[in-house]
Structure 1
């Protein structure tokens, strides 16, 4: 199979992370603004704050857009104030969840093991985790990109490998260089492709070629309509996890068009 065909077998995914933004009025305007751009050629997801799951679920009812949560607990329930379980998310119809975003790692001291446990809980509950990995600028400049990505990815792969054997592996990976998130600085398409290829090679070494070729790896880090086409054209980049541009229906629509090609 050629490199192009390998990529074409993985449908592009454009996922919008709203972070701690939104209101009932702005959410509705945003969703209704980009919905006309959605078709069956590109998968589209949005990740809203917990309080808006019900509203966004209703807005997207019978639409081709998947909605998800921005975090989930590894615990099934109990004395964990402020946490939200997989079963709670499922009651809203949530199909996907972000785990291990760099802001969770930084501001909430989430370890890679904790992230892996969340990924396991999500898959066990029938929700697809989008696992975020990425290095800081200091780590990149020190030549530690591969070591950092491995330290974040390996615990996830090791704990989730059982789902390959059971045929329930449904994990997505998002490479988000911390130095490019919300800074306006974007990794060059070549820089992004290099890390995506490294991640896929690591999946290949740990889980085999079939899993490696079928697992979608997204790029996140100041993706905009103006640079999305060039980024998404790279063979190992299967779409984007979009931050700031996901809050503009025009920008998000432009990125969806870029993913369509």
Structure 2
């Protein structure tokens, strides 16, 4: 059982506008009160400045959806960890399945991005998860352990500073959700792997569930012993739903 507060992180993906963001954040701040868990929203890069301003002094932390492994230089279109830090970014999603699938991100690349975030005081939310084909072939454990092992290999000395998000790829945006028992079994597997790497600190590393967690299923998922929060996609764009998930994270 983790000794840390649960974490509910919204991933807006490629959604938003100046007007929509302001309305959403105002509704969240109106309803969030003093949450029992940590809360973050990971927003598209063009909106970091707007969100830094809107969230200033609030209990909601700012997160980014990606970052470069490089510190600076001729990398057109990329954002470095230091740049994100300039905007008060506290969390950065690393290795999301959509980045792995559409942008060819490798386990090694994800490990390097994790290192860049940690070096700049940003908490990486490291995503791992299997596709439907991998699950049906019985390779779930092998895949998630390989993905996490690459990150541990490069960042072993400070692995207790990361957040892990288990996102079964077959459950993202599909409306399919892993059963609480199935999700818990993978979380327990990841916890054991972290325990091997981080020893007594493993219990304090938060492992989030990221496969279509919503207002209806959040409480049941969050009640599992090794599920320490959620990485929330679609439901994070609807203030009432996101607030209900936050309220379930005690």
Tell me if both proteins adopt one fold, taking TM over 0.5 as the criterion. Answer: yes
Alignment partners' CA distance in 1, 2:75 and 2:180: 41
2:242 is aligned to: 252
User: Residue 222 of structure 2 contacts residue 228 of structure 2 at CA under 8 Å; is this kept in 1?
Assistant: yes
Q: Which residue of 2 aligns with 1:42?
A: 37
1:72–1:97: 8 Å Cα contact kept in structure 2? yes
Q: Does 1:118 align with 2:108?
A: no
User: Does the CA-based 8 Å contact 2:36-2:247 persist in structure 1?
Assistant: no
CA contact (8 A) 1:189 1:231 kept: yes
Secondary structure at 1:161's aligned position in 2? helix
Question: Quick check: 1:38–1:256 contact (8 Å CA) kept in 2?
Answer: no
Structure-2 separation of matches of 1:127 and 1:23: 25
For the residues of structure 2 that align with 1:20 and 1:134, how far apart are their CA atoms?
21
Inter-partner Cα distance in structure 1 for 2:104 and 2:181: 30
Measure the CA separation in 1 of the matches of 2:27 and 2:153: 40
Q: C-alpha displacement at 1:161, in angstroms? A: 1.0
Within a 5 Å distance, the mapping from 1:74-89 to structure 2 comes to: 74-89=69-84
Task: Say how many residue pairs are matched.
Answer: 249
Q: CA RMSD in A?
A: 1.0
List aligned pairs for 1:144-183, cutoff 5 A. 144-163=139-158, 169-183=160-174
| Separation in structure 1 between the aligned mates of residue 183 and residue 38 of structure 2, nearest angstrom | 21
Aligned to 1:105: 100
The counterpart of 2:15, out of the listed 17, 21, 31, is 21
1:52 matched to which residue of 2?
47
Alpha carbons 1:100, 1:131 under 8 Å: kept: yes
TM-score (norm 1): 0.93
